[in-house]
Amino acid sequence: MTQIEKAASGLSTEELLEVAKNEGVDAETVRRRVAAGKIIIAGGAAGGNGNGGAKGKRNVVGIGKGLRTKINASIGTSTSISDVKMEVEKAVTAQRYGADTLMDLSVGGDIRGVRKAVMDAISLPIGTVPLYEAFAIAIEKYGAAVNMPSELLFEIMEQQCAEGVGFMAIHCGINRRTVDMLRKQHYRYGGLVSKGGSYMVAWMEKNNKENPLYEHFDRVASILKKYDTILSLGNGFRAGAIHDSTDRVQIQELLINCELAETGREMGCQTMVEGPGHIPINEIEANIILQKKMSGEAPFYMLGPITTDVAPGYDHITAAIGAALSSSYGADFICYVTPSEHLGLPFPEDVREGVIAARVAAHVGDMVKLKKTDADKAMSKARRNMDWKTQIAMAIDSERAAEIKTKRGDPDEHSCTMCGKFCANDILKGVFEKDMEGSDKK
């Protein structure tokens, strides 16, 4: 039985109880929300329900209503750069700096070998896009991606589930209707930026066939249910430019994915919905409202979202702006963006920057969504009291905070070099101590 089936039957699994404890949420509340498909649980035994070949246990991660906004870091080879050691280093970096999950999006080199090396190196739940490996095999074996036999998709899906993959982005929402809609609206300013989406559309057009992942969705859900692998309904028509955001094609795919999320839940498969890519900040809330209402509050996995198209090299910042708003409006899961987005394959230092930026954004959003501000209050008091040890320990990136403080003088110095002897807190030291006693008890 899957997590959703066990929860629906009244059982609270070991993983469910761990989520409740980690999040500080009542276990019965978590159980009801898992049963309703409003919370999904990744990790635990290899392969989700104990099947599969991944080593040991994965970290248990709850994603969904009432829980802390989670962060995914994506890595993976390309056809230009395929370095297994670097991908492992990137995976380890992502875990070290606080990512909750990791996706291997490899499309070049030994894809299966990269995945195994990454899975052996870290304990985070691992996600994949099986479409990538299937099309890569088709190019090598049949000469072109459009020559891929549809059965290969399901074979790769089953193989990756058996290896212990925790969640999969699968492009089920692309169908003949959405492709025709894309043509009628005269394509897009930014084109199609989803590799899986563009490959699937090309395959459908060349073979004049329906998307097998949509046509045989029951088979997709059955395979993932067998291993309790989470189905992440991919957004192959996500906008790659803010002028394409919230267009008819994107919303039509979202509608289809929300319907499929409900079907998957009814089959006993854990599901979440992806969206929306590039989007101006004034459209973020509307997208989340639509997804939550149409899907029965299925967890929403936001890719970025990137909020302007003119900041290459700083897209971890453009995405952090979108991620903070997304989290505050109710998004549950954020895929980080690195400084190298739109410019090249990320290196380990880019992964660190992306993870930290996304964690900051998620925290800012959770301050609103979950009303969690205790950490900020504690940090404020530590700053007022010039307690550097506590400030650094509480920082989202303690290493960076300590490094900056040390580079600018004695790390144990009472004041910092920003103000020196003109420190505002020192100027009033001893004046309001008695008044502070009541404030500190709040």
Residue with tokens 């969640």: 167
The neighbouring-strand residues paired with 169 are 232
Give the pair of three-digit tokens for residue 304: 């970025």
Domains of the chain: 69-369 (3.20.20.540), 374-440 (no CATH)
Q: Which residues contact 315 (CB under 8 A, 6 or more apart)?
A: 304, 306, 337, 338, 339, 341, 342
Mean pLDDT of 59-67: 98
Please give the Cα distance from 257 to 265 (Å, whole number): 12
- 416 against 58, higher pLDDT: 58
Q: Pairing relation of β-strands 39-45 and 333-335?
A: unpaired
140 pLDDT higher than 70: yes
The neighbouring-strand residues paired with 44 are 58
Q: Contact, 154 vs 219, CB < 8 A?
A: yes
Confidence of residue 34 (pLDDT cuts 50, 70, 90): very high
Amino acid at 191: G
- Note the pLDDT tens digit of each residue in 307-359: 999 999 999 999 999 999 999 999 999 999 999 999 999 999 999 999 999 99
Give the pair of three-digit tokens for residue 295: 């899907």
Confidence of residue 94 (pLDDT cuts 50, 70, 90): very high
Mean pLDDT of 377-385: 94
- The pLDDT of residue 338: 98
The crossing angle, in degrees rounded to 10, of helices 130-142 and 150-163 is 130
Amino acid at 388: W
Mean pLDDT of 269-288: 97
- The pLDDT of residue 56: 63
CA distances for 371 relative to 1, 322, 328, 334, 374, angstroms = 35, 19, 10, 19, 9
Q: Which residues contact 408 (CB under 8 A, 6 or more apart)?
A: 416, 417
- The pLDDT of residue 48: 44
* Total-model pTM: 0.94
50 pLDDT higher than 50: no
The least confident of 58-62, 191-195, 365-369, 412-416 is 412-416
Confidence of residue 52 (pLDDT cuts 50, 70, 90): very low
Residues above pLDDT 70, as percent of the chain: 95
Confidence of residue 439 (pLDDT cuts 50, 70, 90): low
- The pLDDT of residue 45: 63
Confidence of residue 54 (pLDDT cuts 50, 70, 90): very low
Average pLDDT, the chain: 94
Mean pLDDT of 11-39: 98
Nearest to 99 by CA among 369, 348, 371, 389: 348
2 pLDDT higher than 70: yes
Mean pLDDT of 9-30: 98
Please give the Cα distance from 298 to 390 (Å, whole number): 38
Mean pLDDT of 41-61: 67
Confidence of residue 442 (pLDDT cuts 50, 70, 90): low
Confidence of residue 438 (pLDDT cuts 50, 70, 90): low
- DSSP symbol at 63: E
- The pLDDT of residue 425: 84
Q: Report the b/e string of 152-171 with b at 16+ CB within 10 A.
A: bbbebbbebbbbbbbbbbbb
Residues above pLDDT 90, as percent of the chain: 88
- The pLDDT of residue 423: 87
421 pLDDT higher than 60: yes
433 pLDDT higher than 80: no
